[in-house]
């Protein structure tokens, strides 16, 4: 919980600093926002390592069904990267680029889930 508070405070302080520059040097405000976003992104990646360790335990339990966990991790990664990239583009004033990134992310998640759909169809066919 304390990590979340630290990240939240870092974000708030970064935004307050960017607001100070926004009136006179708007490009600096954008750079500050981008830098804070990158710092939070890399902090999030550090947290992902702890989650991956827990997934190793789950992987041992799943056995042959490990491919489902791989798809889940891929979908989480796609979602996180697209959301991060889209947010930066929106902050920079490029909303149309952000929307295209979001669409690409949704399509990528859909295509990443196709192996699970095939597995479900195979299971249904084996029951018949």
Cβ atoms of 32 and 17 closer than 8 Å: yes
Separation CA 83–CA 109 (nearest Å): 12
Domain that holds residue 52: 2-127
Digitized pLDDT (tens) for each residue of the chain, 128 residues in all: 687 888 888 888 888 888 888 888 888 888 888 888 888 888 888 787 877 788 778 877 777 777 778 888 889 889 989 998 998 888 888 899 999 999 999 999 999 888 888 888 888 888 87
Domain count, the chain: 1
The whole-model pTM stands at: 0.68
């Amino acid at each position: 919980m304390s990590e979340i508070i630290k990240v939240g405070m870092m974000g708030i302080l970064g935004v307050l600093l960017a607001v100070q520059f926004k009136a006179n040097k708007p490009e600096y405000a954008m750079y500050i926002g981008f830098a804070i976003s990158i710092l939070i992104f890399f902090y999030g990646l550090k947290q992902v390592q702890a989650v991956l360790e827990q997934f190793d335990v789950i992987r041992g339990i799943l056995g042959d069904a490990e491919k489902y966990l791989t798809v889940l991790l891929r979908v989480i990664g796609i979602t996180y990267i697209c959301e991060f990239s889209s947010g930066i583009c929106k902050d920079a004033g490029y909303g149309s680029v952000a929307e295209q990134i979001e669409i690409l992310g949704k399509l990528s998640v859909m295509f990443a889930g196709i192996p699970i759909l095939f597995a479900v169809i195979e299971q249904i066919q084996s029951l018949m």
